[in-house]
Amino acid sequence: MNKEELKKIKQKALEEHIPIIMDDTLEVIEKEIKNNPPRRILEIGTAVGYSAMCFSEFLLENGKIDTIERDAERIKEAKINIKKVGVEEKINIYEGDAVDILPTLNEKYDMVFIDAAKGKYPFFLNQSLRMINPDGLIFADNVLYKGYVMSDYNKHKQRTAVRNLREYIKQVSENPNLETQILEVGDGLAISRIK
Binding site for ligand SAH (CB under 6 A): 19-21, 45, 47, 50-51, 68-71, 74, 97-99, 115-117, 120
Class of residue 38 by CB neighbours under 10 A (exposed 0-12, middle 13-18, buried 19+): buried
**Residue 142 interacts with Mg ion (CB under 5 A)?**
yes
Residues in the chain: 195
Name the minimum Å distance from CB 134 to ligand SAH: 25
Taking the C-alpha atoms of residue 127 and residue 118, their distance in angstroms, rounded to an integer, is 15
**32 interface partner picked from ligand SAH, Mg ion, none, CB below 5 to 8 A per type:** none
Please, are residues 47 and 18 in contact by the beta-carbon 8 Å criterion? Answer: yes
**66 interface partner picked from Mg ion, ligand SAH, none, CB below 5 to 8 A per type:** none
Of 50 and 58, the one with the shorter C-beta distance to Mg ion is 50
Helix (H) or strand (E) holding 132: strand 132-141
| Residues in contact with Mg ion by the rule CB under 5 A | 115, 141-142
